[in-house]
């Protein structure tokens, strides 16, 4: 990966350069001490994958810089700042910021965030590769390869802490079923009942020759796997909030995917070292599936 750093503190630039080199994350190909010294086309000409930019700088701050470069810049943006104003951070995200790191910078946090961004870049590239290599299915006015949609789903599963976990395949199967069997407009007016969704997904999985008894067993097993997955995601989101309440994933997904009372309950339990079973925590399965579906479609559209 190719990096560019913009920060008026030379020590910070040097520290980040050292972290990138020591952890073999990529190569720093440019740096500047103020946002006024860069622009989108110049960054693209250098093939910059990740721009790391400070929020507070003397002439042109981070938000002004993102506003200037984002329309043309093709890479990802990580912001650094000791300012914890949710208004400023929210504005930066609305302009296209991908992740946020608080100062004073911590090496483990920097490495973790950069690795997440790198994984996002790789997954998005795989979407583009799939588009080039696979034929496109025409679904009404919507055109998207099946594998393409699942790659977008895997990106979101990773952010929700569910990559490779039990229940993740069930969730992807549900997305496929909803996307290819229901028009988007009808879903906005109202989702099918969960029983209907799980029944059809199970039938597709087992085949038309499967018995009613086998389908019922698969429906029950799938429902349990999905519920456990949602519980694991809730634990993941809660732990992010405990570590950093301004964490982008926590801020963006906690209230979208879960009832915040459940998130708060899980955070309190984690803080006290207690373990809540998935049978005692209230999980809204339908809300989670609805949000997951629309977020996957949004992610696909923006890729």
Q: Where are the domains of the chain?
A: 2-121, 134-302
Q: Show the tokens assigned to 39.
A: 């622009």
For residue 271, the Cα-to-chain-centroid distance in whole angstroms is 25
DSSP secondary structure of the chain: -EEEEE-S-HHHHHHHHHHHHHTT--EEEEEESSGGG--HHHHHHTT-SEEEEES--SSS-HHHHHHHHTTT--SEEEEEES---HHHHHHHHHHT--EEEESSP-HHHHHHHHHHHHHHHHHHHHHHHHHHHSPPPEETTEE--HHHHHHHHHHHHHHTT-TT-TTHHHHHHHHHHHHHHS-HHHHHH-PPPHHHHHHHHHHHHH-TT--HHHHHHHHHHHHHHHHHHHHHHHHHHHHHHHH-TT-HHHHHHHHHHS-HHHHHHHHHHHHHT----TTTS---HHHHHHHHHHHHHHHHHH-
At 4 the pLDDT is 96
Looking at 3.50.50.60, 3.40.50.300, 2.40.110.10, 3.40.50.2300, the CATH number of the domain 2-121 comes to: 3.40.50.2300
The tokens describing 204, both together, are 């597709």
The reported pLDDT for the residue numbered 188 is 56
The model scores a pTM over 0.75: no
Predicted confidence at residue 137, as pLDDT, reads 40
Q: What is the pLDDT of residue 6?
A: 95
Q: What residues pair up with 138 in beta bridges, in sequence order?
A: 143
pLDDT for 128: 62
Q: Judge contact between 273 and 260, C-beta under 8 A.
A: no
Both tokens assigned to 20: 């990138």
pLDDT of residue 146: 52
Q: Each residue's pLDDT tens digit in the chain (303 positions)?
A: 999 999 999 999 999 999 999 999 999 999 999 999 999 999 999 999 999 999 888 888 888 999 999 889 989 999 998 776 667 777 787 787 888 888 888 898 899 889 888 887 887 776 666 555 544 444 344 444 555 788 888 889 988 999 888 899 999 999 989 887 765 545 555 678 899 999 999 998 998 888 999 999 999 999 999 999 999 999 999 988 887 777 778 888 888 898 888 888 888 888 888 887 777 778 889 989 988 998 888 877 765
Choose among 102, 91, 89, 34: nearest CA to 65. Answer: 34
* pLDDT at position 132: 55
- Name the token pair of 22: 């020591």
Distance CA 183, CA 215 (A): 25
């Amino acid at each position: 990966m190719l990096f560019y750093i913009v920060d008026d503190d030379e020590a910070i630039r040097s520290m980040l350069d050292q972290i990138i080199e020591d952890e073999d994350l990529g190569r720093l190909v440019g740096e500047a001490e103020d946002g006024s010294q860069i622009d989108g086309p110049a960054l693209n000409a250098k093939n910059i994958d990740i721009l790391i930019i400070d929020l507070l700088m003397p002439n042109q701050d981070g938000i002004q810089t993102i506003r200037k470069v984002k329309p043309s810049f093709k890479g990802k943006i990580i912001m650094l700042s000791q300012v914890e104003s949710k208004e400023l951070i929210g504005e930066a995200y609305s302009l296209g910021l991908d992740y946020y790191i608080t100062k004073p910078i911590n090496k483990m946090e920097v490495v973790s965030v950069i690795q997440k961004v790198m994984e996002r870049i790789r997954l998005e590239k795989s979407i583009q590769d799939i588009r080039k290599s696979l034929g496109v299915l025409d679904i009404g006015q919507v055109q998207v390869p099946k594998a393409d949609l699942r790659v977008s789903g895997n990106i979101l599963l990773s952010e929700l802490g569910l990559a490779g976990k039990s229940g993740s395949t069930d969730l992807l199967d549900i997305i496929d079923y909803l996307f290819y069997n229901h028009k988007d407009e009808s879903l906005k007016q109202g989702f099918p009942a969960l029983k209907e969704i799980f029944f059809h997904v199970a039938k597709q999985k087992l085949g038309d020759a499967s018995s009613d008894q086998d389908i019922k067993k698969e429906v029950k097993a799938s429902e349990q796997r999905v519920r456990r997955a949602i519980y694991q995601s809730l634990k993941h989101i809660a732990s992010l909030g405990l570590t950093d309440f301004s964490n982008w994933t926590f801020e963006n997904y906690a209230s979208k995917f879960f009832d915040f009372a459940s998130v708060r309950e899980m955070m309190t339990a984690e803080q006290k070292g207690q373990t809540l079973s998935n049978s005692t925590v209230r999980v809204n399965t339908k809300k989670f599936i609805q949000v997951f579906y629309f977020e996957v479609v949004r992610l696909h559209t923006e890729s």
